[in-house]
Amino acid sequence: MKGLILAGGTGSRLYPVTKGVNKHLIPIFDKPMIYYPLATLMSAGIREILLITNPGDRQSFQSLLGDGNQFGIDIQFATQDHPGGLAEAFIIGEEFISDQSCALILGDNIFHGSGLGRQLMKYQSIVGSKIFAYQVANPGSYGVIEFDNLGNAVSIEEKPEIPKSAYAVPGLYFFDSEVCDFAKKVIPSKRAEKEITHVLQSYLDLGRLSVEILPRGTAWLDTGTFSSLNDAANFVRILEERQGQKIACLEEIAWRQSWISTESLRSLASQESDSNREYLMKLIASESSRGW
C-alpha cells in the first residue's frame, strides 16, 4: 500500500503566520505538524509515501524529512500548483500509486488512540474504499455522512448547511487503485475544487464504500485554526507529560516496526534535543519494549 499526505493549500485561516511558513511546518507542541500524519501512515505499516505540497515549500519539507531513509521509509515529493481539492491528490499521485491500493491523509489532521496503528493495518489490501465517521459538535464544517436506520451510509455531503447527521468524515481515507480513475471524472465544485466527497459518493453508489465509526477513545484533531492549534498542542503536551510516552515520534515508530536497527536509533538520538535524546535512550535501555 502507498501513502499520500496532502500538505498544500494557503493556510489562510492562520494568517499572518502562514505568509512566512507553510502551516504543516508549524510546531504542535514538540514537533512539526507534518510529523503527525506521517506517524499515522507509518503506524499503519506504510513505508512508501508521497508528500504533496506547494511548489515554494517543497524544499523546506525536503530539508526537514529528506528521503525518509533515516526512518526506514521512502518519501517522495510532488507539488500542487494551486488549491484544487483533495481529490486532485490522486491525479497528482497517479504514477506513484500505480496499480496499488493507497491511503490519503491530510497534513493538518492528528489521529491518536490505543491500537490505532494495528487497526489501520487491516486495510493494507483493500477492495473499494474505507473511510471513518467521527461524531462532532459542528458537522457542517466537514464532509457529513448520512446513515439509514440500519446504520448503513446512504450519502455524503461536503459542508452542508443543514447536516443530516452529527458524523463527520475525518481526513484519512483508504482506496483501491481505481481511485485515480474516479478522481479524474470529478467535476470541480463551485469552489473550483475536486471534492473528495464526490469520489466517496462514486464508491458508495457502486456499493464499494465501507464506513467505520471511530471508537470514542480515539482522538481526531483538525489543526487548521489558531484555537485548534492550541488545543492540539495542549492535548499532546498533557498526554506526553502524564504518560511519559511520545506521540508521533517517528524514530520510535520506525524502531518498533523493525525498520531501523537499535544502532540506527542510537545515532538518531545523538542528533536530537536533550529531552528527545533522553527519551530515545530510555527506549534503547529497555530493549524488551521493542515491538507493539
Judge whether residue 259 has pLDDT over 80.
yes
Computed from CA positions of residues 109, 113, 117, 118, in that sequence, does the dihedral angle turn out positive or negative? negative
SS3 of 159-193: CCCCCCCCEECCCEEEECCCHHHHHHCCCCCCCCC
Mean pLDDT of 50-78: 95
Judge whether residue 11 has pLDDT over 90.
no
Judge whether residue 292 has pLDDT over 60.
no
Question: Which pLDDT value is given to residue 105?
Answer: 97
Judge whether residue 28 has pLDDT over 90.
yes
- H-type helices in the chain, by residue range? 35-43, 58-65, 88-92, 94-97, 116-121, 179-184, 196-205, 226-243, 250-256, 262-269, 274-285
Question: Which pLDDT value is given to residue 25?
Answer: 93
Judge whether residue 249 has pLDDT over 70.
yes
Position 62 confidence tier, pLDDT thresholds 50, 70, 90: very high
Judge whether residue 90 has pLDDT over 80.
yes
Question: Which pLDDT value is given to residue 83?
Answer: 80
Q: What are the structural domain ranges in the chain? A: 2-248, 261-292
Tens digit of pLDDT for each residue in 162-209? 999 999 999 999 999 999 999 999 988 888 889 999 999 999 999 999
As a CATH number, domain 2-248 is 3.90.550.10
